[in-house]
């Protein structure tokens, strides 16, 4: 299958640049509910025009509906899908599993692509997406070549991967840093990129969460061998010259013509201290970088030249034409392109007095396609001798045929209305559950209905406390190990599993565990809440939003130092090395707050908020069925005291936060 070049379009000019430079598909968002709400984006007439323009050039359009959506917004999401389908959208890139369910129920013809923000990184995870009706999934940027091949073997879904653009430190869909620090959520399309600021592992003011931009264009031939079919370019917030350069570079790489000078141009138009190949090769070398003055000024020398790449239409599409001229009959031109065939009719030819038309002269006239997106591939001419047709008549036939080929078609959209669930009844007094970082923290007679320990805790700890297993969210390349560890725990009597990853949820279910949904599933509405057993809701919801979710047995994290980032590359290891860290890593921001960094035997690292969420004195405002306590570094005595504070409704006088439960996220 031919590789698809998938280009970002945050504006009409970027769309023009992508199409004229040879992209096979573009992805763009409407004004709301897309992960780049800061771009110009498209709506109403501009969306219709964008899709018509792309389709007239044989380019597909994928709509980004890739944010978390609350119950209050589900009707608006339905309206966006309906509008986009009426305009002819080819597919939708979706993060929220509740939105995906709504679309399956209401729009049977809509094609679903799973966003990288679904945070799926294992074969079981991709199988789960496929079973949910997704036709394509975007591979996480954190995966190596071998891991991508493993995914390809596990699913029949189309696979898409990023080959160029910004590289986030955090696993996509698992970053709460921007939301927690400033109320601008990456899961809601308004990430403020605080990770590009100073978060230092050695108190030097270094930017240890800022990665260089990814570029895998030189690896495209290797990628082609994996079975990935779509090469995705990041950058809906970038200028059209960037889009033009990246699309052109990808085309050259596919043709085997990509050279170092092409990479130099890409670096000039936008980079952060150059490029990295990220996780693809498995080496993770030289990945960190920031935007420097020299990176900014380098663009001035290439922008004008890059703009010329899309000044005018480029003849990228083949067209076949058949011209028929018979005595006494109107002339006809049949043209085929864009998967369509049309026929247009002209005047009846006259008898030539001097010089009759010839096949050569007609062909020359039909091949004059300058200023259009077409080039003549095959031209067939059938004519009787001694006839004349004015040149203007042949030109008009050619123009009419192209107009009919590129005209938009009415789209019939099968659709049913979405019925919103009413707000739920307020639960009785919520019960308590907890996760502990270590068995040493667990009090005697703790009173929690369910408790969970990390998968790497000792067998003795699980058995002694009757604990369930908390499964890691970051499972890159670790599914076989996970299955082995879970099978062992099942054999010693562990029956419950807390899973914040779609793949882990499926794996644990198939191994016979009673599986509970953790916060990493980003449950944000009633539709997604109903998909999981006793889910812990996203802590980017307000208490009001959480309380309105209508599903069985739902909970919120009521206490804890919340995980703000899940990373596959340790920022402390990169800056100071593991010897100095001794598993007590800390990042210090520019205000002096310390964010603890915790590694584990599994592939990823957690970065925690400095202050714990505390809601002990607001218990009457929590209307969910249970409250989950997320214990990290607290001593057993502190935990006993904290639980008593919640039971008594005591105020907290030490440093704490209400998280986002009252201010919410944009």
pLDDT tens per residue across span 30-84: 988 876 777 778 888 999 999 999 999 999 999 999 999 999 999 999 999 999 9
Question: Taking the chain (666 residues) in consecutive chunks of 10 residues, what is each chunk's mean pLDDT?
Answer: 93 97 96 76 90 97 96 95 96 98 97 98 98 98 97 97 97 96 92 95 95 97 96 95 97 96 94 94 92 88 93 96 97 97 97 93 96 97 96 97 92 90 81 98 95 98 98 97 98 98 98 98 98 98 95 97 97 92 93 95 96 96 96 97 95 93 93
Please say whether the beta carbons of 288 and 574 come within 8 A.
yes
Q: What's the gap between Cα 132 and its chain centre? A: 17
d(CA 129, CA 157): 9
Question: What Rg do the C-alpha atoms of the chain give, in angstroms?
Answer: 29
Query: Residue 484: how many CB atoms within 10 A of its CB?
Result: 11
Please say whether the beta carbons of 246 and 302 come within 8 A.
no
Q: What's the gap between Cα 660 and its chain centre? A: 23
Complete edge-to-edge strand list for the sheet that includes strand 332-337: 340-345, 332-337, 317-325, 374-383
Q: Cβ neighbours of residue 211 under 8 Å, at least 6 residues apart?
A: 167, 168, 169, 272, 276, 278, 287, 288, 289, 569
- Residue with token string 């725990």: 489
* DSSP-based three-state secondary structure for 464: helix
User: What is the DSSP secondary structure assignment for residue 637, as one 8-state letter?
Assistant: H
CA distances (Å), origin 523, targets 250, 598, 628 = 36, 24, 15
Q: Where are the beta strands (DSSP E) in 473-562?
A: 496-499, 514-517, 555-560
Give the burial string for 342-378 (b: 16+ CB within 10 Å, else e).
bebebeebeeeeeebbeeeebeebbeebeebbbebee
pTM for this predicted structure: 0.96
Runs of H (alpha helix) within 134-187: 145-154, 177-182
d(CA 608, CA 91): 36
């Amino acid at each position: 299958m031919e590789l698809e070049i998938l280009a970002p379009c945050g504006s009409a000019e970027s769309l023009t640049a992508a199409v004229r430079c040879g992209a096979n598909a573009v992805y763009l968002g409407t004004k709301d509910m897309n992960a780049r709400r800061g771009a110009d984006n498209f709506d109403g007439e501009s969306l219709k025009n964008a899709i018509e323009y792309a389709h007239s050039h044989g380019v597909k359009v994928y709509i980004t509906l890739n944010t978390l959506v609350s119950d209050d917004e589900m009707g608006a999401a339905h309206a966006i899908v309906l509008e986009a389908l009426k305009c002819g959208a080819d597919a939708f890139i979706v993060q929220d599993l509740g939105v995906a369910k709504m679309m399956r129920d209401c729009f049977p013809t809509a094609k679903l692509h799973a966003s990288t923000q679904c945070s799926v990184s294992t074969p079981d995870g991709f199988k789960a997406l496929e079973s949910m009706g997704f036709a394509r999934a975007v591979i996480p940027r954190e995966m190596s070549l071998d891991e991508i091949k493993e995914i390809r073997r596990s699913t029949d879904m189309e696979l898409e991967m990023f080959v160029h653009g910004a590289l986030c430190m955090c696993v996509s869909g698992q970053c709460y840093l921007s939301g927690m620090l400033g109320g601008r959520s990456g899961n809601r399309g308004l990430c403020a990129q605080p990770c590009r600021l100073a978060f230092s592992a050695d108190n030097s003011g270094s930017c240890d969460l800022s990665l260089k931009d990814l570029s895998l264009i030189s690896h495209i031939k290797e990628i082609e061998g994996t079975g990935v079919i779509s090469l995705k370019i990041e950058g809906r917030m970038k200028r059209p010259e960037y889009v033009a350069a990246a699309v052109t570079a990808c085309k050259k790489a596919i043709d085997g013509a990509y050279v170092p000078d092409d990479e130099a141009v890409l670096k000039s138009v936008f980079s952060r201290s150059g490029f990295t190949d990220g996780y693809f090769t498995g080496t993770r070398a030289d990945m960190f970088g920031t935007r420097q003055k020299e990176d900014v000024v380098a663009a001035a020398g290439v922008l004008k030249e890059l703009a010329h790449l899309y000044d005018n239409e480029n003849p990228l599409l083949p067209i076949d034409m058949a011209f028929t001229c018979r005595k006494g009959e109107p002339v006809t031109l049949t043209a085929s392109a864009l998967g369509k065939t049309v026929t247009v009719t002209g005047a009846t030819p006259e008898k030539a007095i001097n010089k009759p038309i010839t096949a050569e002269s007609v062909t020359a006239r039909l091949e004059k396609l300058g200023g259009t997106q077409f080039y003549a591939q095959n031209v067939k001419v059938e004519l009787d001798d001694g006839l004349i047709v004015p040149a203007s008549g042949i030109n008009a036939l050619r123009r009419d045929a192209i107009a009919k080929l590129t005209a938009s078609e009415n789209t019939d959209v099968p659709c049913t209305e979405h019925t919103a669930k009413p707000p739920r009844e307020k639960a009785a007094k919520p019960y308590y559950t907890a996760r502990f970082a270590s068995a040493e923290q667990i009090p005697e007679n703790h009173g929690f209905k369910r408790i969970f320990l990390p998968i790497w805790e000792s067998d003795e700890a699980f058995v002694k406390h009757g604990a369930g297993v908390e499964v890691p969210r970051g499972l890159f390349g670790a599914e076989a190990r996970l299955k082995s560890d879970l099978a062992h725990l099942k054999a010693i009597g562990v029956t419950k599993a807390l899973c914040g990853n779609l793949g882990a949820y499926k794996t644990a279910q198939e191994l016979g565990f009673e599986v509970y949904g953790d916060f990493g599933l980003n449950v944000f509405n009633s539709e997604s809440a109903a998909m999981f057993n006793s889910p812990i809701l996203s802590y980017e919801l307000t208490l009001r939003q959480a309380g309105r979710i209508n599903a069985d047995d739902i909970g919120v994290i009521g206490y804890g130092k919340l995980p703000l980032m899940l990373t596959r590359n340790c920022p402390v290891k990169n800056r100071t090395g593991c010897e100095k860290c001794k598993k007590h890593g800390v990042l210090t921001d520019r205000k002096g707050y310390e964010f603890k960094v915790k590694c584990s035997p599994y592939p990823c690292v957690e970065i925690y908020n400095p202050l714990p969420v505390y809601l002990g004195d607001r218990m009457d405002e929590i209307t969910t069925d249970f409250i989950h306590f997320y214990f990290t570094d607290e001593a057993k005595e502190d935990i006993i005291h904290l639980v008593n504070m919640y039971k008594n409704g005591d105020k907290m006088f030490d440093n704490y936060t209400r998280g986002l439960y009252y201010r919410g996220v944009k």
